[in-house]
Amino acid sequence: MDRIFIIGEIGINHNGDVDIAKQLIDISVDAGADAVKFQKRTIDKVYSTETLDGPRESPWGNTQRDQKEGLEFGLSEYQEIDKYCKSKKIEWFASAWDLESQFFLRQFNCKYNKVASAMIVYENLLSEIASEGKHTFISTGMAKIEDIDKAVEIFQEKKCPFELMHTVSTYPMKDSDANLNMITTLKERYSCSVGYSGHESGVAVSVAACALGISSLERHITLDRSMYGSDQAASLEPQGWRNLIGSVRKIPEAMGDGIKRILDEEFLIAKKLREHL
């Protein structure tokens, strides 16, 4: 069993504050994650004017536009994140929700790309991402099997390396909805590596997913689940994030090779416990 690639999904849990993003990067480095991930949107491309003009109370104002723009990092913030991650020796990347955002991200030459579950049906975006030839994580939440078929076809035609990520897009996800056997289904149907992007509150489901032989694990992380934001409740706080990664790192070695053997240490115990036989 290979080492699992672990991703801390910062997403929009930074609440528009680079210092919070840096704290989450620090926590991920300390915990032993391989990468952190963000989300990038061009607000006027992703949302209609009608939606953006709608009411929404938030720390940034009273409209949907105020809230969404307040959560969005621009060039200067991503330049700072890029520099900071390099100094901490951790990879970062982001899921683009529109073509303009994907073009924006190219200037940072991140090692990886990500297709968010919501965007798996956006074929033009998938083609653009695949054209870069970077290893891409493709989340499969909210997708029909036909949608996944098409996404895989696009990446195979472009000869772009990818892996699927089993995902259930509820926030937080109920453990009973996890359907972890989909990991095996995806492996068998597409003959590719399969990861897990979890939105549950705890760590048990993620640990179970790792035992099924996933190649990557992504979890939303936060400083405090009570903070403002729609993703906070489905996120892990720092100690939970450290505990999860600590558990996951033990799994490949613990799985073993499936060959029955008696350890040297067991012989002595067996001799003692079987004296009366």
> For 39-98, what is each residue's pLDDT tens digit?
999 999 999 999 999 999 999 999 999 999 999 999 999 999 999 999 999 999 999 999
**Contact between residue 137 and residue 126 where contact means Cβ atoms under 8 Å apart:** no
**Contact between residue 46 and residue 98 where contact means Cβ atoms under 8 Å apart:** yes
> For 111-136, what is each residue's pLDDT tens digit?
999 999 999 999 999 999 999 999 99
Secondary structure of residue 92 in the 3-state scheme: strand
- C-alpha span between 220 and 200 (Å, rounded): 9
Q: What is the mean pLDDT of residues 250-266?
A: 94
Phi/psi for 89 (5° steps) reads: 60, 45
Residues forming a β-bridge with 96: 40
In the chain, which ranges are E strands? 5-11, 35-40, 55-58, 61-63, 91-96, 112-115, 135-139, 162-167, 194-198, 216-220
Residue 274 belongs to what H/E stretch? none
Phi/psi for 230 (5° steps) reads: -75, -20
With tokens 């929700």, the residue in question is: 97
Residue 125, judged by CB atoms within 10 A of its CB (0-12, 13-18, 19+), counts as buried
CATH class of residue range 5-273: alpha beta
Q: What percent of the chain is predicted at pLDDT more than 70? A: 100
Q: What pLDDT, on the 0 to 100 scale, is given for residue 2?
A: 87
Structural domain boundaries in the chain: 5-273
Is the pLDDT assigned to residue 1 strictly greater than 80?
Answer: no
Of 6, 31, 12, the C-alpha closest to 232 is: 12
The DSSP line for 14-75 is TTT-HHHHHHHHHHHHHHT-SEEEEEE--HHHHS-HHHHTSEEEETTEEEHHHHHHHT---H
Q: What pLDDT, on the 0 to 100 scale, is given for residue 158?
A: 98
